[in-house]
Amino acid sequence: MEQYDYLIIDSSSLLNTLYHGYKKMEEEGKSKVIMKKVNGEQIYTSTLRHYLQQIYELRKMLPNTIFIHALDPATSEKNFRKEIDPNYKTNRIEKEERLEKQLELLPKFLSHLGEIYFQSSIYEADDVIATIVSNNTLNNKKTLIYSKDKDLLQLMFDENLVHFLTKVQKSQGLFNLTTIKTFEEVKNKLGVYPHLVADLLAIKGDVSDNIIGVKGVGDVTASNILNSYGHLVDIIDGLQKSTLQMEEKYKKFFTPENVEIILKNLKLSYTKDDIVFPKSISLENQISNYFNKDIKEGVSLVSRLIEIKPEYIFEIKQKQPIKNHNLHNKRY
């Protein structure tokens, strides 16, 4: 398998995917159901077990890679995008309690294991990932992003340095990986190259995030506009200054009302890549503490919680020699 300096996991999204993926199997008796008492309360922990197993299988394939877990905020109340649009993500179905409890446990779970993770109270996992990827690219570090979120494809700044792992599937005891590694693959999937992904979502909308686009603009029209004329801000500027000649069939979508919608949506669809984290949880500090932190007690607790032998956890962690990674960036 191709090797990377970093693997960044869209952790909250992955836990959600694993929960729903194994739910049916558990109902059919094909997968083990684990219930454990946590703070006097019976908690379903099966998904945390699947999460750890999948991450550690990947670690076997990427023995020299730094693994980083990016989590969504514990609550969406302070999400800066909701200040831009109060309806942002309000169409999401309320999470089942069994999943919600495990999402709440995930930061402590990762901390007990001595894993490197980031969770902001304001910014989404997408923004955390964008910040780290942006800095990695500037420092010529090769990054693999594990996420099925199409929004994040905008982060393929350099196809030689940023790749995507979109699916990990186990079949007959082997793990099959689905990846996206080139600009052309992104265009084949979405209709535009990575640098136009946020613009695509801004003009056509994004149902999954409840971003309402310009009426009458679908995938084909949106990609035709962007591939022909470039970024939306440049199109709007050119039309307002009468320096851009645009076909009427596309120009009709740029009314004052629609321009207002587009500009608002751009603030929602672009990931924020300049988050500044406190020094105490900086990536540099977390990496330096990775091998120094005593996690025996934490691993023992986690092993009981998800019914995995502690020896398995220690064996995998010891195979990741990340001590000597040099970090040049101080922003995060």
Q: Across residues 303-331, what is the average pLDDT?
A: 67
Start-end of CATH 1.10.150.20 domains in the chain: 193-269
How is residue 331 written in tokens?
């922003």
- DSSP single-letter state for residue 154: G
Tens digit of each residue's pLDDT (9 = 90 or more) over 211-260: 999 999 999 999 999 999 999 999 999 999 999 999 999 999 999 999 99
For 6-181+277-315, which CATH class? alpha beta
> pTM of this prediction?
0.93
Tens digit of each residue's pLDDT (9 = 90 or more) over 53-104: 999 889 889 988 999 999 999 887 788 999 999 999 999 888 999 999 999 9
Indicate the helix (H) or strand (E) that contains 176: strand 174-180
Topology annotation, domain 193-269: DNA polymerase; domain 1 (1.10.150)
How is residue 199 written in tokens?
């613009």
Q: Which of 200, 217, 218 is nearest to 268 (CA)?
A: 200
Start-end of CATH 3.40.50.1010 domains in the chain: 6-181+277-315
CA atoms of 132 and 327, how far apart (whole Å): 12
